[in-house]
Amino acid sequence: MVACEVVWAETAGFFPSADEAGQALAGLGAEFASLDAGSALRAGDAWRSYRRRGGKRERVIADFLIAAHALSHADRLLTRDRGFYRTYFPKLKLVDPTKA
């Protein structure tokens, strides 16, 4: 399992300390993999498309960064939000943890 800085930061917010978050991620076997320029640009393209289609600020750029990173650095994305990601990242394989 790999996760970019956005996922690490969002996850850390649910723990009392950064150390505990790091231990939990390590315990899951998560590896840190930074976003690259290509992923960031792909996320920007998807964000632009979303906004042009009338997308509201319900979605933040972080969602697009996570999906673009998964498309480049993993073979799937674990998410419960399948509709959104399928629309803007149709080639990304999605896994819903509630159905696994």
Average pLDDT along the chain, 100 residues, taken 10 residues at a time: 94 96 95 96 94 81 95 92 86 88
Q: Does residue 26 lie within any of the structural domains?
A: yes
Contact 67, 39 (CB under 8 A): no
- Give domain status of residue 69, yes or no: yes
Q: Looking at the domain assignment, is residue 20 inside a domain? A: yes
Q: Could you list the residue range(s) of the whole structural domain that residue 37 is in?
A: 2-95
Helix (H) or strand (E) holding 44: helix 37-52
User: Is the Cβ–Cβ distance between 46 and 66 less than 8 Å?
Assistant: no
**100 domain-assigned:** no
Q: Output the pTM of the full model.
A: 0.87
- d(CA 9, CA 22) in angstroms, rounded, equals 10
pLDDT at 100: 63
Helix (H, G, I), strand (E, B) or coil at 61: helix
User: What CATH number corresponds to the domain at position 25?
Assistant: 3.40.50.1010
pLDDT the model gives residue 40: 96
Indicate the number of domains in the chain. 1
